[in-house]
Amino acid sequence: MKSEFDAIKRIKDLCAERHYSYYELAKRSNIAYSTLNSMILKNNSPTLPTLYKLCNGFGISILQFFQIGPKSDALLPEQSECLKLFSILTPEDQELALTYMKGLAHKL
């Protein structure tokens, strides 16, 4: 028996994982809060353009959105932690974190 992917559940899970309110996700995704709230309340899957915006708001790719379970066994625990922390930062803070890490790498 094939189970259908539940996009709304995935959105809810990602919000909970990142401690985002729906309002914050809508703001980060550049979509109207009423659009997101209605989609969630009515359990309507997002359109592809809306899904792209939501993924940008979460800081993930479409592929990562549909990926369930462990992301990669090849990552060390510290690397996984860095990625998780990076994904909850604002875009401005992500840019600062990247700049800082690049500066550290040049010291090597």
Average model confidence (pLDDT) across the chain: 87
Specify the range with the lowest mean pLDDT, choosing from 19-33, 40-54, 64-78: 64-78
Q: What is the pLDDT of residue 66?
A: 87
| Backbone phi and psi for residue 16, each to the nearest 5 degrees, phi listed first | -65, -40
Tell the burial category of 26 from Cβ atoms under 10 Å away from its Cβ (0-12, 13-18, 19+). Answer: buried
Q: What is the pLDDT of residue 91?
A: 86
Percentage above 70 pLDDT, the chain: 89
pTM of the model: 0.67
Domains and CATH numbers, the chain: 7-66 (1.10.260.40), 77-106 (no CATH)
Q: What is the pLDDT of residue 73?
A: 53
Q: Which residue has better confidence, 18 or 72?
A: 18
How far CA 45 is from CA of 3, 9, 49, 59, in Å, comes to 15, 10, 12, 19
**Residue range 55-108, pLDDT digits in tens:** 999 988 888 898 866 555 556 778 778 888 888 888 899 999 999 988 888 876
